[in-house]
């Protein structure tokens, strides 16, 4: 067995692990990263990036269908068709390019990338099983665990990759399912379900809660519900999936309604999107001596675990299970190891749902601010009053809403819904993180015509003197 000693060992090449390794390499630390699949992790290979590619392709196809039916914007086309194999191939090329880019960046930073599955013998030593090569034992001074998360299965209906599929399977389908049932109306289920509705599937959502997208309030989710209703997407709320059944030779999903009755719906495919769980199995976590916090590895604000010089980041240590959180933590840990003074203490982390329309949330909602004891002022600007939104056919629904403390106008939260609104999430996050006041946003000249003007107008509305809507 070959052996290797290093300063920093990173396990997991996803959006937490590879930035940690790159930053460690930039800081001159002898760093090894081990990844059992492909560099880029779930986000790049089978999550964030490929799903957004499929969502974009589905949206373009929907636009083409609208042009064919209605000559929208004066554009007319003949019956558009979708070739799923070519679309998936296009998506895969994007993934390949980005994964190759990660490999190049690691090399440029002086990081050694090892392909294989790491199993820990103790807190600082792992053995890597490598395909076609002898095993490699790595001992490190510092270990960064970035193992990520995986889809949660229903115990009574495990994934089979055929009828019962995960989000990963949904991104590899070679045909558009005629009847797609999505269990779970959170962000993953809604994003993929809406994409397949655009591609032509008859989509039904089965959600155990009494509303969709529980992270957002009713005002935020209303435009999404309106889109679903307009496009004949069936949403069954307060319904619990029970299992598959056969009726007249066809597969159906059986579920229990809010009234306690049993109902069913036709299903060519059943996409189970009920959440994700941390990857804690089969890599020797039990040999490392770290503490657990329920299903997650317990870590402090510097991502330190109970074991000295063992760090854990990203989905492995809990909510929010977001790629950009993992990236920030990975960079921070590398800098702490190098002797910098850092702590993970963001004011807020933006969350985005790439639904139709898109939804963004940063910081406190009006209700959350009230519950926290704040007296607030709220400004709301509809996208129907935005010239840019109307010019790009994105003004039918949506708005930007800002919540600020009444006493000093410090912004506590920003929430928005609308087409292309995800691209404004960075500005929203920056405003909350920097402790901006309403006057800071209103006094910043926003480019005309852009969607960002809606943010400035929402601040003006909270101050009581908007320009493009009545005060």
Active site residues: 448
Q: CB–CB of 20/144 below 8 Å?
A: yes
End-to-end CA distance of the chain: 74
CA distance 176 to 154: 23
**105 DSSP β-pair partners:** none
Quick one: CA dihedral 381, 384, 387, 393, positive or negative?
A: positive
Distance (Å) of CA 26 to CA 139, 145, 227, 286, 354: 21, 19, 47, 32, 33
Q: CB–CB of 329/335 below 8 Å?
A: no
Within 8 A by CB and 6+ apart from 117, the residues are 36, 128, 129, 283
**140 DSSP β-pair partners:** 6
Within 8 A by CB and 6+ apart from 350, the residues are 324, 360, 361, 362, 425, 426, 428, 429
Read off the tokens for 453.
């003007």
- Which residue, 302, 329, 298, is CA-closest to 313? 329
CA distance 91 to 469: 41
The maximal CA–CA distance of the chain, rounded, in angstroms, is 74
Read off the tokens for 265.
């719906």
């Amino acid at each position: 067995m070959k052996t290797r000693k290093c300063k920093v060992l990173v396990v997991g090449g996803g959006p937490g692990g590879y930035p940690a390794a790159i930053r460690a390499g930039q800081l001159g630390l002898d760093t090894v990263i081990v990844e059992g699949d492909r560099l880029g992790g779930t986000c790049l290979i089978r999550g964030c990036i490929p799903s957004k590619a499929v969502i974009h392709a589905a949206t373009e196809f929907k636009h083409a269908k609208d042009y064919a039916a209605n000559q929208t914007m004066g554009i007319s086309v003949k019956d558009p068709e979708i070739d799923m194999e070519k679309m998936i191939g296009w998506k895969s090329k994007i993934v390949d390019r980005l994964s190759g880019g990660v490999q190049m960046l690691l090399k440029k930073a002086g990081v050694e990338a090892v392909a294989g599955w790491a199993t820990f013998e103790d807190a600082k030593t792992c053995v890597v099983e490598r395909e076609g090569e002898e095993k490699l034992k790595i001992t490190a001074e510092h270990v960064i665990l970035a193992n990520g998360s995986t889809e949660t299965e229903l115990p009574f209906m495990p994934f089979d990759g055929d009828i019962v599929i995960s989000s990963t399977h949904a991104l590899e389908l070679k045909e558009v399912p005629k009847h797609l049932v999505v269990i779970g109306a959170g962000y993953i289920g809604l994003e993929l379900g809406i994409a397949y509705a655009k591609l032509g599937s008859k989509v039904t959502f089965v959600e155990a809660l009494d509303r969709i997208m529980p992270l957002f309030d009713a005002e935020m989710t209303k435009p999404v519900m309106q889109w679903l209703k307009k496009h004949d997407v069936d949403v069954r709320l307060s319904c619990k999936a029970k299992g598959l059944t056969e009726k007249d030779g066809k597969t159906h999903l059986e579920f229990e309604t809010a009234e306690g009755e049993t109902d069913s719906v036709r299903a060519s495919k059943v996409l189970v999107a009920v959440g994700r769980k941390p990857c804690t199995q089969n890599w020797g976590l039990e040999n490392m001596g770290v503490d657990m916090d329920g299903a997650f590895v317990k870590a402090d604000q510097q991502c330190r675990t109970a074991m000295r010089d063992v760090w854990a980041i990203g989905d492995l240590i809990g909510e929010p299970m977001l790629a950009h959180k993992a990236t920030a933590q990975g960079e921070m840990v590398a800098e702490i190891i190098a002797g910098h003074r850092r702590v993970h203490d963001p004011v807020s982390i933006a969350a985005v749902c790439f639904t139709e329309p898109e939804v963004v949330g940063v910081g406190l909602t009006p209700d959350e601010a009230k519950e926290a004891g704040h007296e607030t002022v709220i400004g709301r600007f509809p996208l129907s009053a935005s010239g840019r939104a109307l010019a790009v056919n994105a003004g039918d629904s949506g708005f930007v809403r800002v919540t600020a403390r009444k006493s000093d106008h410090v912004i506590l939260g920003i929430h928005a819904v609308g087409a292309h609104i995800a691209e404004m999430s960075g500005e929203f996050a920056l405003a909350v993180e920097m402790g901006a006041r309403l006057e800071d946003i209103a006094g910043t000249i926003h480019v005309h015509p852009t969607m960002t003007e809606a943010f400035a107008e929402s601040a003006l509305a909270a101050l009581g003197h908007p320009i493009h809507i009545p005060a």
